[in-house]
Structure 1
């Protein structure tokens, strides 16, 4: 490369990303922050990977895959939203009322319900397919 090209690149302003691409970068950063901030998100990913591996081995149909992915997505979304709630509460706890603890507990219960539902749906889908294959 000639020195003129190098000098021209250094003088150029950084290229702004399109909005859709910046959103993907923000999502990836959010996942990274979420996994580092709380071990429950890591555990959820671990269990989700196991469920997906079971589903792949059992060769689920397209509809079964859709239901499984939807259930895992709802559980993941609930966990990420709970982390947002906890971060906001930690950031503004000195400005908010004493009902903040109840709000955190309410968010935690919503996540537990979402995770239980996700687990039950995944178990039903995987068990039904395993039952068909093994002729139980």
Structure 2
């Protein structure tokens, strides 16, 4: 696996696929990410070595508690950033693409400020 960003993308993909399908295999990850099976197999091996993923005898992937926490953090950054970008007028497709890149580099301070802004605006909408 080439980078921390790549590792986060794999974890997020496994999480989302598990939420959608209830079970995830490496082939599902390869198809979703549009990567070759050997590339995904290598990445899964690295995730297993890092203690972030397990694979059972049938080849089903599961996030460990550490892997799930990391995946949920990335996924939250992605969804908050995507929603923020849409709210400021970016079209949904571009917002999703940009959020995917931004989720890896945004500072905690900036992310927390964006998340707070969205929550405050949601509260205002409910009051109205």
The TM-score with structure 1 as length reference comes to 0.30
Tell me which protein shows more helix as a share of its residues.
1
Tell me which protein shows more strand as a share of its residues.
2
The TM-score with structure 2 as length reference comes to 0.31
Higher-RCO chain (CA-CA 8 Å, sequence separation at least 6) = 1
